[in-house]
Structure formats: structure tokens, C-alpha cells
Amino acid sequence: MSEQQNDWKEDARRRMTEAAEEAIRLGVIVQMWRIVLQDDNYEAYLDACAFEQAEESEP
């Protein structure tokens, strides 16, 4: 295989990995909000807000 073919395949693998990591992160956030609503729990709401804010401030 040529170097160009390897480059685009590596790029595709990297992008797939990044997308999978983002999907997992979003799944965690969705589950967190689902628990907040199911439990009707204000403390869980505050925790979820803090978690989301911390996530947004990470580089």
C-alpha cells in the first residue's frame, strides 16, 4: 500500500475513535439527566450541572 493510502486510513481510524469517545461521553450525559428526571432529585440536578460545566471547561 502506498503511504497516501495509509495516511487516509490512519486519519479515518483516528476520526472513528474520536467519534466513539464523543458518543460515549454524550451517552453518559444523557444517562445522567435521565436519572435526574427519574428520581426527581434536585441534588442530582446540581451534580449534573456541575459535571456538564466541568466537561465544557476541559480543553
The phi, psi pair for 40, rounded to 5°, reads: 50, 50
The phi, psi pair for 44, rounded to 5°, reads: -65, -35
Q: What is the pLDDT of residue 56?
A: 82
16 CB-contact burial (10 Å; exposed 0-12 / middle 13-18 / buried 19+): exposed
* pTM of the predicted protein model: 0.68
Read off the C-alpha cell for 39.
428520581
Q: What is the pLDDT of residue 14?
A: 97
pLDDT, block means (10 residues), the chain with 59 residues: 82 97 94 94 93 84
Separation of alpha carbons 53 and 51, rounded Å: 5
